[in-house]
């Protein structure tokens, strides 16, 4: 009796294990089918990335004040860092004084020209009077010669005054250019954000003297957010610039963001030492960049973090339909994805 019970018990265990195995593998198969991609859509692993931008000094200056901290969001044109401009302010005051002095020399030269013109008019009157007196034999030739020489000398003096005026005007222009250069240097001492982004690193402290080109902050440019994936040769050859794409990240399951293909590398990233056979050519992988629209990033900028892992999906066939689990989007879908410009490099399958 005990042997019969033991046998039944063993059979029960085996049947239970078999059922459990069928359920497990059936569930795995269902899951794989549930998240399988339809023909015309491909995918690749990647992470959210963005370009980095540095806030750096153009010349050697001391850091006076830093207005932001690591992790802060910044807007285009926002003041990030103020560098000390005491020396530049002194140079600016000197340059402005030189501009004023040059303008004064212009005024003096213009007054000299007015004076010379008056002298010329008077000299011409005297010369003409002496000429008539000589013709009428009522005046001396000597007086006429003196008045004529005085007229010629005054005219030459006018030319000298006009040359002095032109020189003074040039001095004004040079002084103004020097002042504008110093003003630009003072303006460059105020470091502003060129992009909408987030402060990633703070590389200097208040009181520190920077070398020319010295970096104070590194920003993540949130106006250029993208994911890079790698596709095999056959799929890369079918990928178009501007093709619809989706990005799904690990920390937001069930949601996707609409994007578009903005770049397909013309060169393989993983290349065997020798590419001779078809199987070796199929191992070639090409970098594909999926860009997230700026409007979408701006609408959810508080949540955008670089480095987050996920999966990028690309339409190889425009007629393909996104599966249901890629249709629940963060923000609206792209109505009119950007198209490739003339001259965009196309990927051809390596031969």
pLDDT at 32 over 60: no
Tokens of 306: 């670089």
Cβ–Cβ < 8 Å for 311, 44 = yes
> What are the tens digits of pLDDT across the range 52-104?
999 999 999 999 999 999 999 999 999 999 999 999 999 999 999 999 998 88
Measured CA to CA, the distance from residue 12 to residue 10 in angstroms comes to: 5
pLDDT at residue 210 in the model: 92
Higher pLDDT pick, 260 / 295: 260
pLDDT at 157 > cutoff 60: yes
Provide the β-strand partners of residue 249: 310
pLDDT reported for residue 24: 57
| pLDDT tens, residue by residue, 210-249 | 999 999 999 999 888 999 999 988 899 899 999 999 998 8
- Overall average pLDDT of the 136-152 stretch: 72
Mention every residue, 6+ apart, whose C-beta is less than 8 A from residue 68: 74, 78, 80, 199, 217
pLDDT-derived band at 18, boundaries 50, 70, 90: low
Q: Work out the burial of residue 50: count CB atoms within 10 Å of its CB; fewer than 13 is exposed, 13-18 middle, 19 or more buried.
A: buried
Q: Residue 260, Cβ neighbours under 10 Å: how many? A: 23
What integer pLDDT is reported at residue 60 of this predicted model?
Answer: 93
pLDDT value, residue 342: 37
Residue 298: what pLDDT? Answer: 81
Question: What is the pTM assigned to this prediction?
Answer: 0.65
The per-residue pLDDT for range 38-60, each reduced to its tens digit, is: 888 998 999 999 999 999 999 99
Q: Place 337 in a pLDDT band, splitting at 50, 70 and 90.
A: low
Q: Give the pLDDT of residue 204.
A: 93
pLDDT at residue 126 is higher than 80: no
Confidence check: pLDDT of 335 > 70: no
> Which pLDDT score is estimated for 277?
45
Are 314 and 43 a contacting pair, CB within 8 Å?
Answer: yes
Domain 54-85+190-217, what fold? OB fold (Dihydrolipoamide Acetyltransferase, E2P) (2.40.50)
Give the mean pLDDT of the chain: 80
pLDDT tops 80 at residue 127: no
Q: Give the start-to-end residue ranges of the domains of the chain.
A: 54-85+190-217, 86-187
Biggest CA pair distance of the chain: 172
| Helix (H) or strand (E) segment spanning residue 219 | strand 215-232
Measured distance CA(145)–CA(153) in Å, rounded: 12
Q: Residue 25 half-sphere exposure, CB side, CA atoms within 13 Å?
A: 5
Single out the residue of 158, 62, 80, 174 nearest to residue 113, CA to CA. Answer: 158
Q: Is the pLDDT of residue 340 over 80?
A: no
Helices 86-135 and 141-188 pack at an angle, to 10 degrees, of 170
Name the 3-class secondary structure at 10: helix
């Amino acid at each position: 009796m005990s042997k019969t019970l033991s046998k039944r018990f063993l059979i029960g265990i085996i049947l239970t294990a078999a059922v459990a195995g069928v359920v497990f593998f059936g569930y795995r198969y269902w899951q794989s089918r549930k998240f399988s991609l339809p023909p015309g859509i491909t995918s690749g692993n990647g992470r959210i990335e963005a370009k980095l931008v540095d806030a750096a000094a153009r010349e050697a200056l001391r850091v006076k004040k830093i207005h932001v901290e690591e992790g802060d969001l910044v807007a285009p044109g926002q003041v990030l860092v103020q560098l000390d401009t005491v020396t530049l302010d002194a140079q600016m005051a000197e340059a402005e004084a030189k501009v004023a002095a040059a303008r004064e020399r212009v005024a003096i030269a213009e007054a000299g020209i007015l004076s010379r013109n008056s002298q010329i008019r008077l000299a011409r009157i005297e010369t003409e009077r002496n000429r008539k007196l000589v013709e009428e034999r009522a005046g001396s030739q000597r007086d006429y010669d003196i008045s004529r020489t005085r007229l010629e000398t005054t005219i030459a003096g006018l030319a000298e005054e006009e040359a002095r005026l032109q020189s003074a005007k040039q001095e004004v222009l040079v002084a103004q250019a020097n002042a504008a250069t110093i003003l630009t240097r003072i303006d460059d001492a105020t470091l502003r954000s060129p992009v909408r982004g987030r402060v990633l690193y703070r590389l200097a402290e208040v009181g520190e003297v920077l070398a020319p080109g010295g970096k104070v902050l590194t920003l993540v440019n949130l106006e250029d957010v993208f994911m890079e994936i790698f596709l095999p040769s056959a799929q890369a050859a079918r990928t178009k610039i501007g093709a619809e794409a989706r990005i799904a990240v690990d920390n937001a399951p069930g949601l996707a963001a609409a994007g578009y293909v903005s770049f397909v590398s013309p060169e393989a990233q993983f290349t065997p030492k020798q590419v001779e056979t078809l199987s070796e050519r199929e191992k070639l992988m090409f970098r594909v960049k999926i860009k997230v629209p700026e409007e979408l990033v701006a609408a959810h900028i508080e949540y955008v973090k670089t480095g987050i892992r996920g999966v990028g999906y690309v339409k190889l066939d425009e007629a393909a339909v996104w599966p249901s689990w890629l249709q629940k989007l963060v923000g609206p879908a792209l109505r009119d994805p950007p198209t490739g410009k003339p001259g965009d490099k196309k990927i051809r399958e390596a031969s």
